Amino acid sequence: MARFRSLYGDSPLHLLAVLASFAIAGYGFLRIAETPTALGTLVWFAGAAIAHDLIAFPLYSALNLIAHRGVEGPADAWEERRRVPLINHVRIPAFLAALALLMFFPLILGLDSANYEKDTGLSGDVFLTRWLGLCAALFLGSALIYAVRLRRAGRGGEPADPPAPHPEGT
């Protein structure tokens, strides 16, 4: 047992679970391999594996850094007085708007609206307008909440959260 562990690096149960998992995954791949578009499917599968980790993640991390630099900037006198950090009032609505776009980009950008309209008989034009409306509502709502928090902080009520410090924060 100890010998197995030193060779394999974990318990026999771990190996059994891994093998069971690979057997089922292998079945899925096998069935895909039988289709005439097997290669195309595998390329998309591999693309999906790197789409988040190596493309989306660096991109949104960079955007987050830029947002921090742009929104917080160097502290000045006004900054000192402000006492209510702005960053989350920008990046939370921005995140929600971006997520909506990420999930529904084919409809919002009308990438294949001819096909959509032919199939459904509906107009494909509404989604861009609705998404822009959603963006407006999100940022407006966030700005309103920010204004209320600023006012409260200005009145010297409850101390607000400390200013957002480090750009690499989250």
Partner 1 sequence: MKPAPPVTKIRSAIERSLRTPPPGPTRPSFWRSPLRGPWLTSILGSALLPLILICALTGFLSQAAYNPGLGDNSLLPGGGLGIDIYFFHWPTSPSWIYAFTQGLHVVSGLAAMPILLAKLWSVMPKLFEWPPVRGAAHALERLSLALLVGGSVFVFGTGLLNIQVFYPWPFRFLTAHYYGAFVFLAAFGLHVFLKVPVALRTFRERGVLRPLRPGLADTVAEPYEEGHVAPLAPARPTISRRALLGTVGAASLGVAFMGFAQSVGGPIRELGLLTPRSTQLNDGPNGFQINKTAAAVGIGPQQTGAAWRLKVEGRAKRELSREQLLAMPQHSYDLPIACVEGWSTTQRWTGVRLLDLAEAAGVPGDAEVLVESLQKGGALRQVTLSSGQVAAENSLLALKVNGADLSLDHGFPARVIVPGAPGVHQTKWVATMKFTDA
Residues that bind partner 1 (CB under 8 A): 7-10, 14-15, 17-18, 20-25, 27-29, 31-32, 34-35, 37, 40-41, 44-46, 48-49, 51-53, 57, 68, 85, 87-88, 92, 95-96, 99-100, 103-104, 106-108, 111-112, 115-116, 118-123, 126-127, 130-131, 134, 161-162, 164-166, 168-170
In angstroms, how far is CA 147 from the centroid of its own chain? Answer: 26
For partner 1, give the closer residue by CB, 66 or 112: 112
Give the amino acid at 92.
I
2-22 as b/e: b if 16+ CB within 10 A: eeeeeeeeeeeeeeeeeeeee
- Name the minimum Å distance from CB 93 to partner 1: 9
Nearest-approach distance from CB 31 to partner 1, in angstroms: 4
Our CB check for partner 1 shows the closer of 141 and 154 to be 141
Nearer to partner 1, 106 or 139 (CB): 106
Residues 6+ apart with CB under 8 A from 150: 82, 84
- Using an 8 Å Cβ cutoff, are 31 and 37 in contact? no
Residues 79-110: b if buried by 16+ CB within 10 A, e if exposed = eeebbbbbbbbbbebbbebeebeeeeeebbee
Min separation Cβ 135 and partner 1, Å: 12
Enter the tokens of residue 56: 């989306």
Closer to partner 1 by CB, 48 or 77: give it: 48
In the complex, what is the shortest distance from the CB of residue 130 to partner 1, in angstroms, rounded to a whole number? 5
Q: How far apart are CA 3 and CA 105, in angstroms?
A: 53
Q: How far is the CB of 51 from partner 1 (least distance, A)?
A: 6
Which is nearer to partner 1, 150 or 164 (by Cβ)?
164
